[in-house]
Amino acid sequence: MTEEKKGVIYALTAYVIWGAFPLYWKLLEHVESLEILINRVIWSFIFTTIFILLLKQRKHLIQDIKSLWENRKLFFALLSASLVITCNWYLYIWAVNHDHVVDASLGYYINPLITVLFGVIFFKEKLSKAQLSAVIVAFIGVLIMTIGYGQVPWIALLIALSFATYSALKKKITLEATRGLAIETLLILPIAIGYYIYLLSSSETSLLQVNLTTDLLLILGGIVTAVPLVLFSKGAQRIPQYLIGFFQYFTPTVALIIGVVLYNEPFTTTDLIAFIFIWIAVIIFAASTITEIRKRHFAKQQGTIHV
């Protein structure tokens, strides 16, 4: 099997696991979303750190932390990114356990388009005509949903905005994915532990209080978080960027199917029309991105681009 085929398998598996996350978090719907989040942060840090130690990358991890501390601008950028991705995790867990899986999937469909807009606003990047068309078509889809239900799809937009903000904050931070997760969760760890102590003293918690299954699910949430990230990291090293851009839409597609088929969430005519616009936007965006990257790759092979 070629390295590229291995990369395809790794990346696809990662995106499918991310898409299937609702199946896991639904098993914990009897637990408060905030407690699930806190456990996810704590156990993600523990299991990711163990994995790094097993790979004998302790020195690399320490060096990453030292480098970040020496560059305060990058340190505070990563701290901000850690806070934002924690909010994103909470929004997703809350959405799943309050019967909003379809809204969550919508959020991850429109996230790449908002990321493109952030590139224009914050990094002075230019939109191609196709990308601009995709953003406009997606906006029409969101507008249809807003008018149809008389309210803005806040859950989807907040999920998309939080992840796009996370991506923007991490744009100039180059960290290996696994070590990056360890450091990000390390930065949130004091807040998570402090809040858990507060929960223990002020109200009932679920860890060690309900049953063994609940305890295992809360603890293993750390592994569930780390595994697809490791797979994605392995895949990204072996396949072209345009494939990663295409594969990312597997995640909201899997989540959408789960929400509608397994959990019988409502999917009205208004939803269908709005999603059709979103899907058209995604197709335009993905096609233009793939075409652009292929052109650059071809030009590089011809020697017209020098790095």
Residue 241 included in any domain? yes
C-beta of residue 134 within 8 angstroms of C-beta of residue 282: yes
Compute CA 194 distance to the chain's CA centroid, rounded to the nearest angstrom: 25
Question: Which one is predicted more confidently, 146 or 216?
Answer: 216
Rounded to whole angstroms, the Cα distance separating 43 from 210 reads 18
Rounded Cα distance, 51 and 185, in Å: 14
CA–CA separation, 168 and 182 (whole Å): 19
With vertex at residue 297, the alpha carbon angle to CA 296 and CA 303, rounded to the nearest 5 degrees, is 90
Helices (H), 124-211: 129-149, 154-169, 177-202
The amino acid at residue 128 is S
Q: Are 94 and 101 in contact (CB under 8 A)?
A: no
Mean pLDDT score of the chain: 88
Specify whether the CB–CB gap between 278 and 110 falls below 8 A: yes
Asked whether residue 307 is domain-assigned, the answer is no
217 located within any domain:
yes
3-class state of residue 64 by DSSP:
helix
Could you give the CA distance from residue 93 to residue 232 in angstroms, rounded to a whole number? 21
Q: How far is Cα 100 from Cα 185, in angstroms, rounded to an integer?
A: 26
How many independent structural domains does the chain possess? Answer: 1
- For residue 285, CA distances in Å to 95, 165, 242, 244, 255 come to 26, 19, 11, 13, 20
* Domain-located, residue 151: yes
Nearest in space to 233 (alpha carbons), one of 222, 223, 244: 244
The CA distance from 275 to 259, in Å, is: 14
- Residue type at 306? H
Phi and psi based region of residue 124 (left: phi greater than 0; alpha: psi -120 to 50; beta: remaining) = left
Nearest partner of 181 among 294, 64, 34, 101, judged by Cα: 64
In a domain? residue 273 = yes
Range of the domain at 248: 3-301
Q: What is the pLDDT of residues 183-238, one digit of tens each?
A: 999 999 999 999 888 888 877 788 888 899 999 999 999 999 999 988 888 887 78
48 or 7, greater pLDDT: 48
Residue with structure tokens 């096609």?
287
Q: Is 266 within the bounds of a domain?
A: yes
Number of H helices, E strands in the chain: 13, 0
Record the tokens describing residue 141, joined without a space. Answer: 């889809």
- Can you spell out the DSSP letters for 229-255? HHHHHHHHTTS-HHHHHHHTTHHHHHH
Residue 306 has pLDDT above 50, yes or no: no
Say if 306 falls within a structural domain. Answer: no
Give the global pTM.
0.88
In tens, the pLDDT along 253-286 reads 999 999 999 999 999 999 999 999 999 988 888 8
Torsion sign across C-alpha atoms 140, 119, 299, 294: negative
| Confidence at residue 297, expressed as pLDDT on a 0 to 100 scale | 65
Question: 307 pLDDT band (50/70/90 cuts)?
Answer: very low
Any domain includes 262: yes
